[in-house]
Amino acid sequence: MCGIVGYVGSKQACPILLEGLSKLEYRGYDSAVVAVLDGEKINVQKARGRLSVLSNMVDGGKSVNGVMGIGHTRWATHGEPSDVNSHPHVSSSGRFAVVHNGIIENYIPLKKRLMEKGFQFVSETDTEVVAHLFEYYYKGDLLEAMTKVIHRVEGSYALGVLCSDYPDSFVAVRKASPMIVGVGRGENFIASDVTAILAHTRNVYYLEDDEIVMLSASGVKIYNTDREEIKKEIFRVNWDVSAAEKGGYEHFMMKEIEEQPKALRDTISPRIKDGKIVLDDISLTSEYISSLKKIYIVACGSAYHVGVVGKYVIERMCRISVEVEVASEFRYHDPLIGKGDLVIVISQSGETADTLAALKEAKARGAHVLSIVNVVGSSIANASDSVLYTWAGPEIAVATTKAYSTQLAVIYLIAIYMADKLGRLENDEYSRLIEELNTLPDKVSKILENKSEIQFLASKFFSSKSIFFIGRNLDYAVSLEGSLKLKEISYIHSEAYAAGELKHGTISLIEDGTLVVALATGDKLYEKTISNVKEVKARGAVVMGVTTTHHEHAEDVCDYVVRIPDADELVLPSLSVIPLQLFGYYVASLKGCDIDKPRNLAKSVTVE
């Protein structure tokens, strides 16, 4: 959600800013801007729409001179998408230009106070307040002005600020919104995401809340809000820059679907040593697990769907009560949580605003927080008591695939680990489950080998107006994710429903030709789901069944059948989700949708 890139060095800044912003397009945006200081004045270039519009306007950056600048892709929160509302916002004198990710919650009283002092506003945004605050507080010291501004504003922010009085340096800060600093040779960078600067440096600082950075070509200095310099450790990004490139694929989403076998191996293999699960990074002792009153899983979107699977798996294996909650609801309903409870927080980016707020609520009430995240050094990782990284590598497409799969793998690891500590697994059962985990990547690869089958099915149903997904227990949990994948990238209305609940509402929507995707992978509830398939068939539905190899007679009741390899029922979600991801992708492709950047959506939701 929004993207920031900043550069200072000896090269022309504008082409570098455009290149960096192109790596952040996946985050979601509706306008793009660059502001470059030419040594005397700040030159701002804005364009509504795609980054290509801005790039053409400035001839790929050649028409804007200067070796220091900031760039921004905006996702509208305050004010419609327009050139006036897009960033950077410039102060009344033109001395300051500000880019901002996040939301300034108290901008209305600040705006009123500034207007009383004679400041004039031209936009509807909260960010313009920040630009005028810099003008108001600036007395010749940019760092001092920054500290005064951040003491006045409330909310979440990552700020990059140019000042025409400082031709060789600029300043940035973060609070509850991601910001990294890239350290190069004779050049330095800021960015919302490391992918924006990987072509130039692998050495980064991960800023924490209220850390201010002053960047020049010769160096980087980081300060706290008392303007005291602090020392931080440089982090070396070790994944290949090609991991953030399409590599010949038409879309990042398909590339990331295909990367899932490797991602699963990278998540699982290092944590299995000599046939045992080893979670060195967390402290879940037998005594602690035995003392747990309840486990909460808190997340948003697809990560929440991982949590729904996790509830079934952990409760079945460990016999500990698990509640799954949407993060935005958890933080506001005064949850009954405290010491003796474990909260598992799941987030791909580690910056999801509602999830981070829920984490802080849980910690304030005395719960132990274990996070499952992909991004090292992210806000959620830093705020947690324990953290397990998925090691999925960069995920660029807005619709998550490999992040979902690797989060699910970590849930399995936690469940088996805890069940073993509780003495609920015999040695042979434990070994069998470890083998199930080890074989998951190969089984996913096998499903991907037959993706042309899913492409054919997509060609028959891409013009559908509504598609329903049904299943029971774990199959229902996966249906939630399958439905979300379809709707978010193809814009087809879709709904997932617990198959046993059909008669309580949704079956009234079934009519001739309606596609129903029925998941029936587990043995225990297979026949019950088949009965539900017959119910919708009797009302005119066309049914695409997803089941395992050994369920031989699915074709007798389903119009089309997609088969996945046999596996233990608890890990089947890792397999059954793959054809649903592919189906959503191919449907969206056939409709001509912008798959990697679906409308109105952002990859990392860093505002409430």
Catalytic option among 23, 255, 485, 603: 603
Catalytic option among 2, 163, 318, 558: 2
239: its two tokens: 């994944």
Contact 323, 576 (CB under 8 A): no
For this structure, is 593 an active site residue?
A: no
Beta strand extents in 132-225 (DSSP E only): 155-163, 169-175, 180-183, 188-191, 203-206, 211-216, 219-223
| Cα–Cα distance for residue pair 167/150, rounded to 1 Å | 23
Measured CA distances, 158 to 101, 154, 178, 273, 346 (Å): 5, 12, 7, 41, 22
Measured CA distances, 43 to 10, 35, 511 (Å): 18, 5, 59
Q: What per-residue string of b and e applies to 227-257 under the rule 16 or more CB within 10 Å gives b? A: eeeeeeeebebebeeebbbeeeeebbbbbbb
| Cα–Cα distance for residue pair 442/269, rounded to 1 Å | 13
Phi, psi torsion values for 590, nearest 5 degrees: -65, -25
CB within 8 Å of 373: residues ≥ 6 apart: 346, 347, 348, 349, 350, 380, 381, 387, 389, 390
CB within 8 Å of 447: residues ≥ 6 apart: 564, 565, 575, 578, 579
User: In which region does residue 52 sit, left (phi positive, over 0), alpha (psi from -120 to 50) or beta (all else)?
Assistant: alpha
Catalytic residue set: 2, 603
